Structure 1
């Protein structure tokens, strides 16, 4: 049996989230879950027009309180001069005083209300007086009920299908009154949207007197394609998801696409086998990049089965950047950014998925950077104010969860965000995706000096001609630390350690705007104070070059490049050698180090680690030693005779 979820909000907008078993945890601590106590199907059927999957077993949501009216609606399409005869929906709780409702499209005016009695199970309610619709108008149609009784389960009453979010089936409301009046306030009636809550669509269905305008209808759910850094006329694969919300099978449809304000192009698609009523199909098209410049490409379904689609205006947009990007190079770097908390019991279980991604990408020759922000769910002793300012740009408009992860800040259309659960990334698929990608910026050096606890990092590189937007280029630099012992990590045993934790932002959390010289080169000097409690040998400097992560179009936020250097070392392990460096000698095959030493690592000339112990007798030869002392790192050659 499915779980029900609390819809909690005492604000002016609704905050919603769904409990996903052990897959993820929601951000709002006051959200609760409880099992549904009644058979959800009750032997009935859901008839009429709707957006949701009528065969789905519902999720039920509420505000976590009783004695308050909750309502859910779908936005009826233009059905012409017609009549609404029935409203159908499932219910988990009986309610003797509920209401059938028809509101204006903006939800501000009640056009029809009828008292009714809701039964547990499927309800198919006939309107006492059929409601007459007008041609050219749309209406919110649904029902209102109170969370009856005093048990936890009584608070969960609004039905969602748990499948695909459709904008026209996401309207919900709560308040002291069941519907809006001329005297309504946010306290008496508060209308909002469940978009981004991942509950799917509202399970409300409408029976009309004349269904002729509902025969052939297709709802474009999402588009997944990449038109960034494309050359003119280059074809890019684009996968579209189409839901059949009409009353006939879909055997054909016309897809339209438009680059910016350019010419609208049409592709006729035959659907074999036919797309059944209530089902969703995925179709891939090779779309040519037809306009040079930057903008948004618009997708829509203009016709279904040869008839004009009522949802032709329901566009899905993707960003494009088309031009001459011949200077771009094959992708060399990838960054994984993860969100966690010690209060997230599911987060330690995601470690294996992250490791699989990193291992696979490194094996393919990609340089992988990794950051683990303690934000976006609950705060803990490792949460930084900068991380709190940053995380919101990765998530959907409402809500956040952990464990969540982003690869290269790549937009995920089905998530409506840059993140998904770490388990959602298939290592083989995403390694191939990254290897087939291009990058137009290179970080060539991260030079570092450390003096009296102050780090000076100089990040330099080159932005390749025509491969970036000079008005939308930013640099973020973060110092991270590995192997930090957890204090009370939920879901993990004793000895759990946190990796790649941000300790110091050398730039603003959303990045500093990056100026590129005429020859394409850039060089930025940054400074920050290191704390003596940090273990220098476990620290790294991560530099990220990216477009603005605050821009409204999430699909434009993908990272150009990212590089990681050990604290005190450049990308090529150039040594940092301030005064008072420890003195290293070798006598009779044994090392001797004079000066302050926290730890050291000795490597042979092939780069293999030989020892970290002064008690190891060494064979004659030349070695490289790295000495860690008070957050400084010293590198030198050692010759053993």
Structure 2
């Protein structure tokens, strides 16, 4: 049996009930992969253009659920004014009522659907009316079928080659409807499309026959570039290795590789391929490239020509980060801890104690921890849409899971790890963070609340050569603590949810952040607060990060994250430093240096603790408001 894919399917949690195995480990909805017993070599040849290996034995994926349509697509390149005449694929299970489909590139509009009957083996289906393509447009082409049962074997219905993954051939959808319609746009369960990149299933075995195949004769698809352009000097040479897949019909005897440092000049290297690269095969080629510019950014690679002709996939880029010259950064001060949980998860409460201990350990090490708990294990009463959009970019091994600064784990294999982190693991991660650097600093999170509208102004600075100007994003959201659970499995009465996302002021994956010439940035955001939220238990979390959508996990690590109580600023904001009183805590008592007319000390739930310096405080984090010379200074105090 082929290895089961590790892709955790977010959208399927909306459609399926989660079961728990007798081994007492949570089983999450996943795409399953297994041999389907169909061989193209034995059953015939599929004609037309496709990304998959025509000689590969078919493997299949599915969901193992009844009354759900699942579908697979390839993204057809721009083939000009042409006509799609046939759609072909190997059938794993027979289906009397299936659909041939052509969707818009974004997967939101159905442009063509045709009922069909799928047979086990090779299916070559002629469109009743050839579909006319337009020059400059791309289309998703594929088919939809409905699984016939929920057993393990019933799940395997969508054919993949189990070999190289090409992102244009990894589109999968699931829902109660076979394709998108105007009627089902508002129903999140009706049709959900996503990319299965990273699932180790290979490319979809779907082939398209066109009236004019001339544009598809000489095609090269850049699948990977390996090389390290980090912390080198201008002029130093690096030897990246390029992987090129021949998805055309002719042998590749030559190609042009282009590279570009950030937004700089595009350079071209012409390469002769000896021996020639046969169709469906992948070749690896090494080039010598000098570091041309000082700074940090993204190095873009593409294949512009194949066999002397313009490559249809000339816009398909593979990127490497570069860091050339002096690297400016400060010692890491902040850590983002993201948790994945849900009320249906009986094991998730077991992660509370080790996570709290972990946060305490990092805090005691001098790190400021921002904590977010995403509810994406099925849906519960605190679930919102945005975490589902975000969660597909994490490699979740099950629930509970956590991610620390979106960095790879020490073994380098996964972005997330078991939420029940061990004491040794906590120590290793704390040391890793303490020894890390950050090149971006959030200096203030100013807030104003008026008639239920929250305005947040985030200000900060990014140090020279410490960030990629093309790949810098800001995510800001409001979370709430102390929310009484309704039906948390694995926990007794009185269980409460912490750090639950309530409102996103940016996109879930972040808004692109523009940095001024002096390194500063200022962003103003607004959102509407609900009266049912307890304001004193809410926080505003701001995160500066690279795009989480990029495929290289090591490039996703967070720059910085800060948390401010709703309605307050950051405790570490530099507010009138020449006049602001200095607050410290020793032995459980407050010391305030400077003029103080009065002060109020609150705990993190918003409850007033004391207005007297003679009060002995329990260890914890507090908010202090100091009144001095008609000014109010707000800061955070940590009592150890």
Q: Please list, as runs of the form range in 1=range in 2, the aligned pairs for 1:530-549 lying within 5 A after superposition.
A: 546=544
What residue in structure 1 maps to residue 373 of structure 2?
A: 373
Q: Please list, as runs of the form range in 1=range in 2, the aligned pairs for 1:321-360 lying within 5 A after superposition.
A: 327-329=328-330, 331=332, 333-344=334-345
Q: Please list, as runs of the form range in 1=range in 2, the aligned pairs for 1:468-617 lying within 5 A after superposition.
A: 489-490=488-489, 492=490, 501=499, 546=544, 559-562=558-561, 574-575=584-585, 576=590, 600=618
What CA distance in whole angstroms lies between the structure 2 residues aligned with 1:405 and 1:464?
Answer: 29
**CA-to-partner distance for each residue in 1:14-56, whole Å, 9 max, x for gaps?**
xxxxx96796765642247799999822454563453235335
What CA distance in whole angstroms lies between the structure 1 residues aligned with 2:360 and 2:289?
Answer: 33
**CA-to-partner distance for each residue in 1:265-295, whole Å, 9 max, x for gaps?**
32759799x9887566787877555356898
What CA distance in whole angstroms lies between the structure 1 residues aligned with 2:32 and 2:460?
Answer: 58
What CA distance in whole angstroms lies between the structure 1 residues aligned with 2:82 and 2:501?
Answer: 63
What CA distance in whole angstroms lies between the structure 2 residues aligned with 1:224 and 1:558?
Answer: 19
**CA-to-partner distance for each residue in 1:58-110, whole Å, 9 max, x for gaps?**
114699648x89785562785999998x8642223324577878999999877
CA 99–234 in structure 1, closer or farther in 2 if over 3 Å, else same: same
What CA distance in whole angstroms lies between the structure 2 residues aligned with 1:82 and 1:470?
Answer: 41
Counterpart of 2:14 (choices 29, 35, 38) is 29
What residue in structure 1 maps to residue 59 of structure 2?
A: 57
What CA distance in whole angstroms lies between the structure 2 residues aligned with 1:428 and 1:379?
Answer: 33
What residue in structure 1 maps to residue 266 of structure 2?
A: 263
Contact 2:32 2:155 in 1 (8 A): no
What CA distance in whole angstroms lies between the structure 1 residues aligned with 2:138 and 2:600?
Answer: 77
What residue in structure 2 maps to residue 612 of structure 1?
A: none
What CA distance in whole angstroms lies between the structure 1 residues aligned with 2:33 and 2:637?
Answer: 66
CA 317–405 in structure 1, closer or farther in 2 if over 3 Å, else same: farther
CA 423–353 in structure 1, closer or farther in 2 if over 3 Å, else same: farther
Alpha-carbon offset, residue 262 of structure 1: 1.8
What CA distance in whole angstroms lies between the structure 2 residues aligned with 1:71 and 1:506?
Answer: 31
Secondary structure of the structure 2 residue equivalent to 1:57: strand
What CA distance in whole angstroms lies between the structure 2 residues aligned with 1:148 and 1:476?
Answer: 40
What CA distance in whole angstroms lies between the structure 2 residues aligned with 1:148 and 1:540?
Answer: 44
CA 40–444 in structure 1, closer or farther in 2 if over 3 Å, else same: closer
Contact 1:340 1:372 in 2 (8 A): no
Secondary structure of the structure 1 residue equivalent to 2:371: strand
CA 247–435 in structure 1, closer or farther in 2 if over 3 Å, else same: farther
Q: Does 1:40 align with 2:25?
A: no
Contact 2:349 2:491 in 1 (8 A): no
**CA-to-partner distance for each residue in 1:511-534, whole Å, 9 max, x for gaps?**
999999989899x9xxxx9xxx99
What CA distance in whole angstroms lies between the structure 1 residues aligned with 2:196 and 2:547?
Answer: 19
What CA distance in whole angstroms lies between the structure 1 residues aligned with 2:78 and 2:96?
Answer: 30
What CA distance in whole angstroms lies between the structure 2 residues aligned with 1:236 and 1:436?
Answer: 27
Q: Please list, as runs of the form range in 1=range in 2, the aligned pairs for 1:28-177 lying within 5 A after superposition.
A: 28-31=13-16, 40-42=36-38, 44-45=42-43, 47-48=45-46, 50-52=50-52, 54-60=56-62, 65=67, 72=73, 75=76, 88-95=88-95, 118-120=118-120, 122-125=121-124, 147=146, 157-160=157-160, 166-169=166-169
Deviates more, 1:352-361 or 1:278-287: 352-361
Structure (1 or 2) with the larger CA radius of gyration: 1
Alpha-carbon offset, residue 218 of structure 1: 3.4
CA 300–406 in structure 1, closer or farther in 2 if over 3 Å, else same: farther
Alpha-carbon offset, residue 125 of structure 1: 3.5
What residue in structure 1 maps to residue 450 of structure 2?
A: none
What CA distance in whole angstroms lies between the structure 1 residues aligned with 2:437 and 2:518?
Answer: 22
Structure 1: runs of 5+ lacking an equivalent: 4-18, 413-418, 447-458, 582-592, 602-625
Compute the TM-score of the two structures, normalised by the length of structure 1: 0.53
Compute the TM-score of the two structures, normalised by the length of structure 2: 0.53
Alpha-carbon offset, residue 249 of structure 1: 8.5
What residue in structure 2 maps to residue 11 of structure 1?
A: none
What residue in structure 1 maps to residue 195 of structure 2?
A: 195
Alpha-carbon offset, residue 257 of structure 1: 1.2
CA 70–62 in structure 1, closer or farther in 2 if over 3 Å, else same: farther
Contact 2:386 2:504 in 1 (8 A): no
CA 218–495 in structure 1, closer or farther in 2 if over 3 Å, else same: farther
What residue in structure 1 maps to residue 454 of structure 2?
A: none
Alpha-carbon offset, residue 300 of structure 1: 1.2
What residue in structure 1 maps to residue 300 of structure 2?
A: 298
Q: Does 1:408 align with 2:410?
A: no
CA 464–502 in structure 1, closer or farther in 2 if over 3 Å, else same: same
Structure 2: runs of 5+ lacking an equivalent: 18-28, 446-457, 574-581, 592-597, 602-611, 626-634
Contact 2:9 2:392 in 1 (8 A): no
What residue in structure 2 maps to residue 422 of structure 1?
A: 417
CA 138–171 in structure 1, closer or farther in 2 if over 3 Å, else same: farther
CA 163–476 in structure 1, closer or farther in 2 if over 3 Å, else same: same
What CA distance in whole angstroms lies between the structure 2 residues aligned with 1:403 and 1:117?
Answer: 41
What CA distance in whole angstroms lies between the structure 2 residues aligned with 1:564 and 1:69?
Answer: 41
Secondary structure of the structure 1 residue equivalent to 2:45: coil
What residue in structure 1 maps to residue 206 of structure 2?
A: 204
Deviates more, 1:513-522 or 1:282-291: 513-522
What CA distance in whole angstroms lies between the structure 2 residues aligned with 1:164 and 1:445?
Answer: 46
What CA distance in whole angstroms lies between the structure 2 residues aligned with 1:172 and 1:37?
Answer: 13
**CA-to-partner distance for each residue in 1:152-204, whole Å, 9 max, x for gaps?**
9989854345776535435679999999xxxx975699999543586764322
What CA distance in whole angstroms lies between the structure 1 residues aligned with 2:401 and 2:615?
Answer: 41
CA 27–373 in structure 1, closer or farther in 2 if over 3 Å, else same: farther
CA 267–90 in structure 1, closer or farther in 2 if over 3 Å, else same: same
Contact 2:255 2:305 in 1 (8 A): yes
Count of paired positions: 542
